[in-house]
Amino acid sequence: RREQARLKASLVEEDTEQWQKDPHFSGLQRVGGVDLSYIKGDESRACASLVVLSFPALEVLYQDCRMVAVTAPYVAGFLAFREVPVLVEAVQRLQREEPQLQPQVLLVDGNGLLHPRGFGTACHLGVLTDLPCIGVAKNLLHVDGLVRDELHREQVRSLQRSGETFPLTGTSGKVLGMVLRSCSSSSRPLYVSVGHRVSLGTAVRLVRACCRFRIPEPIRQVRARGTGQG
């Protein structure tokens, strides 16, 4: 908890880059995705994957998938301490070997501010790499009074078209993220939250711009490679 609090002190919840302020993301050329895929039946080994896609074409420019040992135990609310170190290594490897392909933003298969202490994997990774990060989750994390009750399901049903959203406001009154219908062909939404160096509005716009299907392309591509390895 102390380490989380220490890192959280460096968290930036607003746009810091010029391309983020442009309605068409002019200047954004590379979008990254990261993921850790475990081997079925073996929680001690996983495939750490990083991909970088061009933007707006969303074509793969770089991929790095390698098997790693995972030594930290899983503790609810502290998943980042188990997974982020190997993802940081993947980012640092790219920075050393192909610095011209460094992503300008990372999409993380997980949560950012939508977390029991407001510091999920996307925040943790963002602070340690100092890259803009966005959390993109497929399921609602039950924190700060947020639950997948009938009201929530009714709000999800009300999302008729691709790009429609509603805010996730906790009982504390803080908006922790946005529910996004990412494509018209899927009624299942995404849960988008701020990771680091990006505003919530920009995060939602960018996730939507990266979606050909329900899952944004950087995460879809990185998961396909990681699962293939595992």
| Number of domains into which the chain is organized | 1
Neighbours of 5 (CB within 10 A): 10
The whole-number mean pLDDT for each consecutive block of 10 residues of the chain, a chain of 230 residues, reads 87 96 96 89 85 97 90 73 89 96 96 91 96 95 87 88 90 94 88 97 97 95 71
151-199 pLDDT tens trace: 888 888 888 888 899 999 999 999 999 999 998 888 889 999 999 999 9
Domain that holds residue 71: 1-227
Please give the structure tokens belonging to residue 99: 């610095």
CATH number of the domain where residue 40 is located: 3.30.2170.10
Helices (H), the chain: 2-8, 79-97, 121-129, 150-157, 200-209, 217-229
